[in-house]
Protein backbone atom coordinates (compact mmCIF):
# COMPACT_ATOMS: atom_id res chain seq x y z
CA UNK A 1 0.00 0.00 0.00
CA UNK A 2 1.32 3.46 -0.90
CA UNK A 3 2.33 5.69 2.02
CA UNK A 4 -0.04 8.43 0.79
CA UNK A 5 -2.97 5.97 0.75
CA UNK A 6 -2.06 4.72 4.21
CA UNK A 7 -2.01 8.28 5.61
CA UNK A 8 -5.38 9.10 4.03
CA UNK A 9 -6.90 5.94 5.51
CA UNK A 10 -5.47 6.67 8.97
CA UNK A 11 -6.81 10.24 8.93
CA UNK A 12 -10.29 9.07 7.96
CA UNK A 13 -10.27 6.42 10.67
CA UNK A 14 -9.11 8.60 13.57
CA UNK A 15 -11.37 11.52 12.58
CA UNK A 16 -14.34 9.17 12.46
CA UNK A 17 -13.56 7.67 15.87
CA UNK A 18 -13.37 11.03 17.63
CA UNK A 19 -16.54 12.48 16.09
CA UNK A 20 -18.63 9.33 16.51
CA UNK A 21 -17.77 8.90 20.18
CA UNK A 22 -18.88 12.51 20.78
CA UNK A 23 -22.11 11.93 18.82
CA UNK A 24 -22.79 8.72 20.76
CA UNK A 25 -22.59 10.54 24.10
CA UNK A 26 -24.90 13.39 23.06
CA UNK A 27 -27.41 11.12 21.29
CA UNK A 28 -27.55 8.66 24.18
CA UNK A 29 -28.26 11.47 26.65
CA UNK A 30 -30.94 12.89 24.33
CA UNK A 31 -32.52 9.45 23.82
CA UNK A 32 -32.54 8.70 27.54
CA UNK A 33 -34.14 12.04 28.42
CA UNK A 34 -36.86 11.61 25.80
CA UNK A 35 -37.38 7.85 26.17
CA UNK A 36 -36.85 7.43 22.42
CA UNK A 37 -35.62 4.04 21.22
CA UNK A 38 -34.98 5.53 17.78
CA UNK A 39 -32.52 8.10 19.20
CA UNK A 40 -30.84 5.55 21.48
CA UNK A 41 -30.52 3.14 18.55
CA UNK A 42 -29.11 5.98 16.51
CA UNK A 43 -26.59 6.62 19.29
CA UNK A 44 -25.38 3.01 19.20
CA UNK A 45 -25.21 3.28 15.43
CA UNK A 46 -22.77 6.17 15.85
CA UNK A 47 -20.72 4.15 18.33
CA UNK A 48 -20.63 1.21 15.93
CA UNK A 49 -19.17 3.64 13.38
CA UNK A 50 -16.26 4.15 15.79
CA UNK A 51 -15.76 0.39 15.91
CA UNK A 52 -15.74 0.14 12.11
CA UNK A 53 -13.23 2.98 11.97
CA UNK A 54 -10.97 1.00 14.32
CA UNK A 55 -11.33 -1.86 11.83
CA UNK A 56 -10.26 0.55 9.06
CA UNK A 57 -7.13 1.55 11.00
CA UNK A 58 -6.19 -2.06 11.82
CA UNK A 59 -6.92 -3.14 8.23
CA UNK A 60 -4.72 -0.33 6.91
CA UNK A 61 -1.85 -1.33 9.19
CA UNK A 62 -2.03 -5.01 8.24
CA UNK A 63 -2.53 -4.45 4.50
CA UNK A 64 0.44 -2.04 4.44
CA UNK A 65 2.90 -4.83 5.27
CA UNK A 66 5.21 -5.73 2.36
CA UNK A 67 5.08 -9.18 0.69
CA UNK A 68 6.90 -11.95 2.54
CA UNK A 69 7.57 -15.68 2.12
CA UNK A 70 4.16 -16.69 3.53
CA UNK A 71 2.28 -13.92 1.65
CA UNK A 72 4.07 -13.37 -1.69
CA UNK A 73 1.26 -11.13 -3.01
CA UNK A 74 1.26 -8.84 0.01
CA UNK A 75 -1.40 -8.32 2.69
CA UNK A 76 -3.88 -6.04 0.91
CA UNK A 77 -6.73 -8.55 1.11
CA UNK A 78 -6.89 -7.53 4.78
CA UNK A 79 -8.83 -4.49 3.56
CA UNK A 80 -11.50 -6.77 2.05
CA UNK A 81 -11.69 -8.77 5.29
CA UNK A 82 -12.03 -5.49 7.19
CA UNK A 83 -14.98 -4.56 4.97
CA UNK A 84 -16.68 -7.87 5.75
CA UNK A 85 -16.25 -7.22 9.49
CA UNK A 86 -17.95 -3.84 8.99
CA UNK A 87 -20.80 -5.60 7.17
CA UNK A 88 -21.26 -8.04 10.07
CA UNK A 89 -21.41 -5.13 12.53
CA UNK A 90 -24.07 -3.45 10.40
CA UNK A 91 -26.23 -6.59 10.46
CA UNK A 92 -25.82 -6.99 14.25
CA UNK A 93 -26.80 -3.38 14.91
CA UNK A 94 -29.75 -3.68 12.49
CA UNK A 95 -31.11 -6.73 14.31
CA UNK A 96 -30.87 -4.96 17.67
CA UNK A 97 -32.78 -1.97 16.31
CA UNK A 98 -35.49 -4.19 14.84
CA UNK A 99 -36.01 -6.15 18.06
CA UNK A 100 -36.21 -3.04 20.25
CA UNK A 101 -38.54 -1.21 17.86
CA UNK A 102 -41.00 -4.10 17.70
CA UNK A 103 -41.13 -4.24 21.50
CA UNK A 104 -41.80 -0.50 21.53
CA UNK A 105 -44.84 -0.99 19.29
CA UNK A 106 -46.10 -4.03 21.20
CA UNK A 107 -46.11 -2.12 24.51
CA UNK A 108 -47.47 1.05 22.86
CA UNK A 109 -44.67 3.21 24.25
CA UNK A 110 -44.59 6.87 23.22
CA UNK A 111 -41.42 8.98 23.18
CA UNK A 112 -41.34 12.47 24.70
CA UNK A 113 -38.99 14.52 22.54
CA UNK A 114 -37.20 17.70 23.69
CA UNK A 115 -35.58 20.62 21.86
CA UNK A 116 -32.22 19.20 22.94
CA UNK A 117 -33.05 16.02 21.03
CA UNK A 118 -33.98 18.03 17.96
CA UNK A 119 -30.72 20.01 17.94
CA UNK A 120 -28.55 16.92 18.48
CA UNK A 121 -30.24 15.04 15.62
CA UNK A 122 -29.87 18.02 13.25
CA UNK A 123 -26.15 18.33 14.05
CA UNK A 124 -25.74 14.56 13.66
CA UNK A 125 -27.25 14.56 10.16
CA UNK A 126 -24.92 17.31 8.99
CA UNK A 127 -21.77 15.87 10.58
CA UNK A 128 -22.36 12.28 9.45
CA UNK A 129 -23.03 13.28 5.83
CA UNK A 130 -19.78 15.29 5.87
CA UNK A 131 -17.96 12.22 7.22
CA UNK A 132 -19.54 10.06 4.50
CA UNK A 133 -18.36 12.50 1.83
CA UNK A 134 -14.85 12.51 3.27
CA UNK A 135 -14.69 8.70 3.50
CA UNK A 136 -15.91 8.39 -0.11
CA UNK A 137 -13.28 10.93 -1.18
CA UNK A 138 -10.64 8.83 0.62
CA UNK A 139 -11.95 5.70 -1.16
CA UNK A 140 -11.68 7.36 -4.59
CA UNK A 141 -8.13 8.49 -3.80
CA UNK A 142 -6.96 5.09 -2.53
CA UNK A 143 -9.30 2.47 -4.03
CA UNK A 144 -9.58 0.78 -0.60
CA UNK A 145 -12.94 -1.03 -0.29
CA UNK A 146 -12.98 -0.70 3.51
CA UNK A 147 -13.14 3.11 3.15
CA UNK A 148 -16.12 2.76 0.83
CA UNK A 149 -17.74 0.50 3.43
CA UNK A 150 -17.05 3.07 6.13
CA UNK A 151 -18.60 5.80 3.94
CA UNK A 152 -21.76 3.70 3.61
CA UNK A 153 -21.87 3.28 7.36
CA UNK A 154 -21.60 7.05 7.89
CA UNK A 155 -24.31 7.72 5.30
CA UNK A 156 -26.64 5.12 6.79
CA UNK A 157 -26.24 6.90 10.13
CA UNK A 158 -27.12 10.24 8.49
CA UNK A 159 -30.20 8.61 6.91
CA UNK A 160 -31.26 7.02 10.18
CA UNK A 161 -30.89 10.38 11.94
CA UNK A 162 -33.10 11.91 9.24
CA UNK A 163 -35.78 9.36 10.07
CA UNK A 164 -35.39 10.17 13.77
CA UNK A 165 -35.84 13.85 12.89
CA UNK A 166 -39.11 13.01 11.15
CA UNK A 167 -40.29 11.06 14.19
CA UNK A 168 -39.46 14.04 16.44
CA UNK A 169 -41.50 16.40 14.25
CA UNK A 170 -44.47 13.99 14.09
CA UNK A 171 -44.15 12.47 17.57
CA UNK A 172 -46.98 14.46 19.14
CA UNK A 173 -49.41 13.38 16.44
CA UNK A 174 -48.65 9.62 16.31
CA UNK A 175 -47.67 7.53 19.36
CA UNK A 176 -46.22 4.77 17.18
CA UNK A 177 -43.86 6.94 15.12
CA UNK A 178 -40.78 6.20 17.27
CA UNK A 179 -41.16 2.41 16.93
CA UNK A 180 -41.78 2.62 13.20
CA UNK A 181 -38.74 4.89 12.78
CA UNK A 182 -36.62 2.30 14.58
CA UNK A 183 -37.80 -0.44 12.20
CA UNK A 184 -37.02 1.67 9.14
CA UNK A 185 -33.54 2.41 10.50
CA UNK A 186 -32.89 -1.30 11.01
CA UNK A 187 -33.86 -2.02 7.38
CA UNK A 188 -31.53 0.74 6.13
CA UNK A 189 -28.68 -0.75 8.13
CA UNK A 190 -29.37 -4.25 6.84
CA UNK A 191 -29.30 -2.92 3.26
CA UNK A 192 -25.99 -1.15 3.91
CA UNK A 193 -24.58 -4.39 5.33
CA UNK A 194 -25.68 -6.25 2.20
CA UNK A 195 -23.97 -3.70 -0.07
CA UNK A 196 -20.74 -4.01 1.91
CA UNK A 197 -20.84 -7.81 1.72
CA UNK A 198 -21.54 -7.79 -2.01
CA UNK A 199 -18.57 -5.55 -2.79
CA UNK A 200 -16.11 -7.46 -0.56
CA UNK A 201 -17.01 -11.16 -0.59
CA UNK A 202 -16.87 -11.45 -4.41
CA UNK A 203 -13.18 -10.52 -4.76
CA UNK A 204 -12.26 -12.83 -1.86
CA UNK A 205 -14.08 -15.82 -3.34
CA UNK A 206 -12.81 -15.08 -6.83
CA UNK A 207 -14.59 -13.45 -9.75
CA UNK A 208 -14.72 -14.18 -13.44
CA UNK A 209 -13.41 -11.37 -15.67
CA UNK A 210 -16.15 -9.43 -17.46
CA UNK A 211 -16.68 -9.65 -21.21
CA UNK A 212 -15.34 -6.14 -21.79
CA UNK A 213 -11.99 -7.02 -20.19
CA UNK A 214 -11.69 -10.27 -22.18
CA UNK A 215 -12.47 -8.44 -25.42
CA UNK A 216 -9.95 -5.70 -24.58
CA UNK A 217 -7.13 -8.16 -23.75
CA UNK A 218 -7.82 -10.22 -26.89
CA UNK A 219 -7.59 -7.16 -29.14
CA UNK A 220 -4.55 -5.79 -27.29
CA UNK A 221 -2.74 -9.12 -27.76
CA UNK A 222 -3.38 -9.11 -31.51
CA UNK A 223 -2.27 -5.48 -31.85
CA UNK A 224 0.97 -5.96 -29.90
CA UNK A 225 1.87 -9.22 -31.66
CA UNK A 226 0.57 -8.19 -35.10
CA UNK A 227 -0.88 -11.71 -35.33
CA UNK A 228 -4.56 -11.74 -36.29
CA UNK A 229 -4.87 -15.47 -35.55
CA UNK A 230 -3.69 -15.14 -31.94
CA UNK A 231 -6.31 -16.66 -29.61
CA UNK A 232 -6.58 -15.62 -25.93
CA UNK A 233 -8.63 -17.76 -23.54
CA UNK A 234 -8.83 -19.28 -20.04
CA UNK A 235 -8.81 -15.94 -18.17
CA UNK A 236 -8.45 -15.69 -14.39
CA UNK A 237 -8.25 -12.61 -12.13
CA UNK A 238 -6.87 -12.67 -8.60
CA UNK A 239 -7.82 -9.60 -6.56
CA UNK A 240 -5.48 -8.60 -3.71
CA UNK A 241 -7.04 -5.23 -2.89
CA UNK A 242 -5.39 -2.54 -4.99
CA UNK A 243 -3.11 -5.19 -6.57
CA UNK A 244 -4.51 -7.54 -9.23
CA UNK A 245 -3.00 -10.56 -10.98
CA UNK A 246 -4.24 -11.66 -14.42
CA UNK A 247 -3.48 -15.05 -15.98
CA UNK A 248 -4.59 -16.32 -19.38
CA UNK A 249 -3.58 -18.65 -22.22
CA UNK A 250 -2.43 -17.60 -25.69
CA UNK A 251 -2.48 -19.87 -28.73
CA UNK A 252 0.26 -19.14 -31.27
CA UNK A 253 0.75 -20.41 -34.86
CA UNK A 254 2.53 -23.78 -35.01
CA UNK A 255 5.48 -22.45 -37.09
CA UNK A 256 6.69 -20.04 -34.38
CA UNK A 257 9.59 -20.80 -32.02
CA UNK A 258 9.29 -20.74 -28.23
CA UNK A 259 11.55 -17.67 -28.08
CA UNK A 260 9.38 -15.76 -30.57
CA UNK A 261 6.24 -16.60 -28.61
CA UNK A 262 7.89 -15.71 -25.30
CA UNK A 263 9.08 -12.33 -26.58
CA UNK A 264 5.59 -11.46 -27.78
CA UNK A 265 4.04 -12.59 -24.48
CA UNK A 266 6.49 -10.39 -22.55
CA UNK A 267 5.49 -7.36 -24.63
CA UNK A 268 1.80 -8.09 -24.04
CA UNK A 269 2.38 -8.43 -20.28
CA UNK A 270 4.20 -5.08 -20.22
CA UNK A 271 1.38 -3.41 -22.15
CA UNK A 272 -1.26 -4.79 -19.77
CA UNK A 273 0.77 -3.51 -16.81
CA UNK A 274 1.06 -0.08 -18.43
CA UNK A 275 -2.58 0.32 -19.46
CA UNK A 276 -4.51 -1.66 -16.79
CA UNK A 277 -2.12 -1.75 -13.81
CA UNK A 278 -2.37 -5.55 -13.64
CA UNK A 279 0.45 -8.07 -13.33
CA UNK A 280 -0.17 -10.52 -16.18
CA UNK A 281 1.12 -14.06 -16.61
CA UNK A 282 0.62 -15.73 -20.01
CA UNK A 283 0.67 -19.48 -20.68
CA UNK A 284 1.91 -20.29 -24.21
CA UNK A 285 0.09 -22.82 -26.41
CA UNK A 286 0.05 -23.89 -30.05
CA UNK A 287 -3.01 -24.48 -32.22
CA UNK A 288 -2.08 -28.10 -32.83
pLDDT at 125 over 80: yes
As a whole number of angstroms, the distance between CA 220 and CA 267 comes to: 11
Q: pLDDT exceeding 90 applies to what percent of the chain?
A: 21
pLDDT at 43 over 70: yes
pLDDT in tens, 158-167: 887 888 888 8
Per the document, the length of the chain is 288
Flag whether the pTM goes above 0.85: no
Provide the residue ranges of all domains of the chain, joining segments of one domain with +: 3-203, 211-286
Phi then psi dihedrals of residue 240, to 5 deg: -120, 40
* β-strand partners of 236: 247
Model pLDDT, residue 123: 93
pLDDT in tens, 198-218: 777 777 766 678 888 899 999
As a whole number of angstroms, the distance between CA 206 and CA 150 comes to: 23
Query: Which CATH code of 3.65.10.10, 3.30.70.1350, 3.10.20.600, 3.30.420.40 fits the domain covering 211-286?
Result: 3.30.70.1350
The answer to whether residues 178 and 69 touch, using CB atoms and an 8 Å cutoff, is no
Please determine, looking at this structure, whether the domain spanning 3-203 carries the CATH number 3.30.420.40: no
Q: Average pLDDT, stretch 182-190?
A: 82
Q: One fold for both 3-203 and 211-286?
A: no
The answer to whether residues 164 and 157 touch, using CB atoms and an 8 Å cutoff, is no
Q: Average pLDDT, stretch 270-280?
A: 89
CA-CA-CA-CA dihedral for 193, 199, 204, 210, to nearest 10: 150
Q: How many angstroms separate the Cα of 66 from the Cα of each of 61, 69, 70?
A: 11, 10, 11
pLDDT in tens, 4-32: 777 787 888 889 889 989 999 999 999 88
Amino acid sequence: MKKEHKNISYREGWLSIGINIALFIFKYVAGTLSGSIAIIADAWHSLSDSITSIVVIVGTKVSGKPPDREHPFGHERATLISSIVIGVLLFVVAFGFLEGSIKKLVYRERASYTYFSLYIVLVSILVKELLAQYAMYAYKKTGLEMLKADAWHHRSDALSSSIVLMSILLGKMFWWIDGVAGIVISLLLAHAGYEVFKSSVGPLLGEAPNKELIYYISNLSKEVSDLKTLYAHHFHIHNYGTHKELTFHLKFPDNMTIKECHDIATKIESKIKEELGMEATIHLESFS
